Amino acid sequence: MLITENFVFFYDKSEVYSQQSKHGFTYKGFKFKSAEHWMMFHKARIMILGASSTMKDVFEFMRMHPKCLFRKILDAKTPQAAKMLGRDVKPYLEKVWKENREDVVFYGNVLKFQQNKVCSESMATVGTKQFVEAAKNDLNWGVGLDEKNPKILNPKNWVGLNLLGKQLDRVNEVLFINPVSVEIPY
């Protein structure tokens, strides 16, 4: 992790800001081992049951189909294993996922940072610094540059969308900068 006057650059899976850090949380009786598990679970929910489906709908589906993809994602031993399962979601509609993915990641990280003291303590110290996923090979969730690359210090050099960083900025805003109650719609 690299912290400057204006930015928090992160990438390592062990860092609290990573989707793959092993800081689990619960929601409506479901236990998620990481934010990556949450993301892939909801990717499956949206594709299989529809974007307006709820956790109650998932629970009913899982009751009738105990070996379904939802269960496999929840049971995945690692965030990487959950990610691999999420890549196999069928049907997969890119447009639908793009419409929902940022909110899915935002709500999962709200839960993660609310329920994990080490995570919340870390984020509480950041202030208004901008979060940046320094993923050189990810042009969606990261900025397409490694934190060791000096070009990363200038946002004009970023070639990626930094979607994860933007969602962490939202989490920081609602939990620490201007705290508000967050209703999770699933």
pLDDT band at residue 79 under the 50/70/90 scheme: very high
Alpha-carbon distance of 164 to 86, in angstroms, equals 17
Q: Tell me: the pLDDT tens digits for 92-125?
A: 999 999 999 999 999 999 999 999 999 999 999 9
Task: Find all residues with CB under 8 Å of 172, minimum gap 6, and list them.
Answer: 123, 126, 128, 131
Q: Answer yes or no: is 22 within a domain.
A: yes
Number of domains, the chain: 1
Q: Answer yes or no: is 127 within a domain.
A: yes
pLDDT band at residue 127 under the 50/70/90 scheme: very high
118: number of Cβ within 10 Å: 11
pLDDT at 71: 97
Query: What phi and psi, each to the nearest 5 degrees, are found at residue 2?
Result: -125, 125
Q: Answer yes or no: is 182 within a domain.
A: no
Whole-structure pTM value: 0.96
Contact in structure between 66 and 16 (CB atoms under 8 Å): no
Q: What residues make up the domain containing 131?
A: 2-177
Q: Answer yes or no: is 186 within a domain.
A: no
pLDDT at 80: 98
pLDDT at 22: 96
Mean pLDDT of all residues belonging to the chain: 97
